[in-house]
Amino acid sequence: MIRDQAYELRKLMKKKRDDQRLAKEAAHLRGLISERPDARQPRLTRVIAVTSGKGGVGKSTISANLSLHFASKGLETILLDADLGLANLDVILGIRPTGTLFEVIHGNRELNEIIQHGPMGLKFISGASGITDLANLGEKERDHLLSEISGLQYEGEIMVIDTGAGLSHNVLGFLMIAQITIVVVTEEPASVADGYGMIKALRKSRYPGEICVVMNKVNSIQSGKNLFDKLSMTADRFLGTGLKLVGIIPESPLIRESTQKMTPFFIAHPDSKVTQALRSVGEVVLGHSEYLACAEKEGFSRRMYSFFFRV
Ligand SMILES: Nc1ncnc2c1ncn2[C@@H]1O[C@H](COP(=O)(O)OP(=O)(O)OP(=O)(O)O)[C@@H](O)[C@H]1O
Ligand SMILES: [Mg+2]
């Protein structure tokens, strides 16, 4: 009788231990499942746009080399030349375009037919030239372009958009799909004033992402930093908007020379100071994950559509 009771007690205790172990295993498994990205739901592309108020400040140079930095890290990267006025990223990358956005806009090619492969596995979309305002395109062409661009939202892990300079609908429309917009500013007074104008336009258009600044072609890191501080204080005071400095790139003959040789400096001079400065821009931008994470929540086509159809 006593033996039977002891036996039953041991059985009960073993069952309790088994239950506890099973509960622990189930909790661990649940943790693993919730950490694993849902394979059925493709990740949305995170978008970083590069723009400026004034032209010739280094947007295309920075876009091309920044994309190469991302691609070199193994991120599936797409570089979109969205300068519809005077596209030239193909020249900076040394790629001969086999198709351009111009043909896509006019319905002659599909966007995925004109995606080319650049260095380090970079995917590249060549821009159009001579399209002054998307708003002036016929409804059919504009609709077609927007729907083709919407198709890019599952195309890669990260997309860098190089825009034209200045405040046009084309430029603002493309910026609307980016979680982070980098405004490139140099030490020229006109570049600072126009950069401020661009930031103001973004705020007026209720741009939902984060506005970052790269100071480019600076004489010294300190002078670039001082100028950024003035710009940031002005934006804070008059626009009520914070700006983030994500990098300072010095004026360098290496960059000019690389542009002339049609080889990005990231490839031609991988150990140079300017490449280090560029890598640091890429890392800081990737570190702003709270903004880039917005890509997980909403696709970018909706924002671009609502911007253009509010015109
Ligand atoms: N940090 C730098 N040091 C020296 N030269 C630079 C630097 N950054 C860019 N450049 C040079 O400035 C020129 C203009 O650069 P880029 O074409 O990238 O400017 P952009 O802003 O894209 O011009 P646009 O408004 O015409 O599209 C190029 O010759 C490029 O080599
Ligand atoms: Mg350019």
- pLDDT tens, residue by residue, 88-103: 999 999 999 999 988 8
Confidence of residue 17 (pLDDT cuts 50, 70, 90): low
Report the greatest alpha carbon distance in the chain.
98
CA of 137 to the centre of ligand 1 (A): 29
**Ligand 2 geometric centre to CA of 19 (Å):** 65
Q: How high does pLDDT run on average in the chain?
A: 86
Residues 6 or more apart in contact with residue 255 via CB below 8 angstroms: 58, 61, 265, 274
Tell me the best of 61, 223, 252 to mutate to test the pocket of ligand 1, counting ligand atoms within 8 Å of each CB and taking the most: 61
- Ligand 1, residues 259, 260, 269, 275: which to mutate, most atoms within 8 A of Cβ? 259
Q: Decide if pLDDT at 288 tops 60.
A: yes
Mean predicted confidence (pLDDT) in 151-160:
88
CA 96 to chain CA centroid, Å, is: 24
Smallest CA-to-CA distance from 111 within 134, 127, 95 is with 127
Structure tokens at 113: 């037919």
Instruction: Select from 165, 149, 190 the least CA-distant residue to 52.
Output: 165
Neighbours of 168 (CB within 10 A): 18
CB 175 within 8 A of CB 206: no
Position 35 confidence tier, pLDDT thresholds 50, 70, 90: very low
Query: Nearest 5°: phi and psi at 266?
Result: -60, -30
Report d(CA 222, CA 224) in Å as an integer.
5
> Which ligand 1 atom sits nearest the alpha carbon of residue 61?
18
pLDDT score, position 280: 97
Q: Which is nearest to 79 in space by CA: 126, 145, 33? A: 126
Q: Compute the average pLDDT of residues 237-247.
A: 93
In the predicted structure, residue 163 carries a pLDDT above the cut 80: yes
Question: For residue 62, how far is its CA from the centre of ligand 1 (angstroms)?
Answer: 8
* 251 Cβ inside 6 Å of ligand 1: yes
Range in 28-32, 234-238, 265-269, 301-305 with the lowest mean pLDDT: 28-32
Please give the span between the terminal C-alpha atoms of the chain, in angstroms, as a whole number.
Answer: 89
What is the DSSP secondary-structure string of the chain? -HHHHHHHHHHHHHHHHHHHHHHHHHHHHHHHHHHS--TTSPPPPEEEEEE-SSSSSSHHHHHHHHHHHHHHTT--EEEEEE-SSB--HHHHHT---S--HHHHHTTSS-GGGSEEE-GGG-EEE---BS---GGGS-HHHHHHHHHHHHGGGGT-SEEEEEE-SSS-HHHHHHHTT-SEEEEEE-SSHHHHHHHHHHHHHHHHTT--SEEEEEEEEES-HHHHHHHHHHHHHHIIIII----EEEEEEE--HHHHHHHHHT--HHHH-TTSHHHHHHHHHHHHHHH-HHHHTHHHH--SHHHHHHHHTT-
How many residues does this entry show for the chain? 311
Query: What average pLDDT score do residues 115-138 get?
Result: 84
Q: Which of 56-60, 118-122, 128-132 shows the lowest mean pLDDT across its residues?
A: 128-132
pLDDT number for residue 145: 82
Q: What is the Cα Rg of the chain in Å? A: 25
* pLDDT confidence tier of residue 148, bands split at 50, 70 and 90: confident
Residue 258, ligand 1, Cβ within 6 A: no
Helical ranges in 151-188 per DSSP H: 169-175
Give the per-residue pLDDT at 152: 86
> Does 217 sit in the ligand 1 pocket, CB within 6 Å?
yes
**Band of the pLDDT at 45, cuts 50, 70, 90?**
confident
Which residue's alpha carbon is nearest to atom 14 within ligand 1?
Answer: 56
Q: What is the CATH number of domain 46-308?
A: 3.40.50.300
Any idea where the domains of the chain sit in the sequence?
A: 1-36, 46-308
**CB 227 near ligand 1, within 6 Å:** no
pLDDT at 32: 46
Q: Are 160 and 61 in contact (CB under 8 A)?
A: no
On whether the CB atoms of residues 162 and 61 are closer than 8 A, the answer is no
pTM: 0.84
pLDDT at 129: 77
pLDDT in tens, 218-238: 999 999 999 999 999 999 999
C-alpha–C-alpha distance, residues 221 and 279, integer Å = 16
| Distance from residue 35's CA to the centre of ligand 2 (Å) | 40
Res. 136 pLDDT band, cuts 50 70 90: low
- Other Cβ atoms less than 10 A from the Cβ of 303: the count is 19
